[in-house]
């Protein structure tokens, strides 16, 4: 992530925030193990992580895309 910026979750509209979170949790590789967890539960879990600062929304200017990453894994800006 060489050309990125962190977007404060609180600066997004409710629809935009929900869309980013739903896109993130529906990607391959974000399965939660043997138990089934609903999309709504996954969205709530990620939203909580964003609100408490454990996760951040990252905008990649090179690829014109958003994702969610663990805050502790982001390089210092």
Domains and CATH numbers, the chain: 4-73 (1.10.10.610)
pLDDT per residue over 27-70, tens digit each? Answer: 866 555 666 788 899 899 999 999 999 999 999 988 899 999 99
The b/e string for 8-47 (b: 16+ C-beta within 10 A; e otherwise) is ebeebeeeebeebbeebbeeeeeeeeeeeeeeeebbeebe
pTM of the model: 0.82
| Phi, psi at 4, each rounded to 5° | -135, 165
Q: Using pLDDT thresholds of 50, 70 and 90, give the confidence band for residue 7.
A: very high
pLDDT at 38: 85
């Amino acid at each position: 992530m060489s050309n990125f910026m962190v977007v404060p979750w609180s600066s997004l509209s409710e629809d935009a925030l929900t869309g980013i979170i739903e896109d993130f949790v529906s990607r391959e590789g974000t399965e939660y193990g043997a138990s089934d967890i609903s999309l709504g539960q996954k969205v709530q879990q990620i939203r909580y992580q964003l609100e408490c600062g454990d996760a951040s929304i990252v905008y990649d200017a090179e690829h014109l895309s958003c994702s969610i990453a663990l805050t502790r894994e982001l390089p210092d800006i």
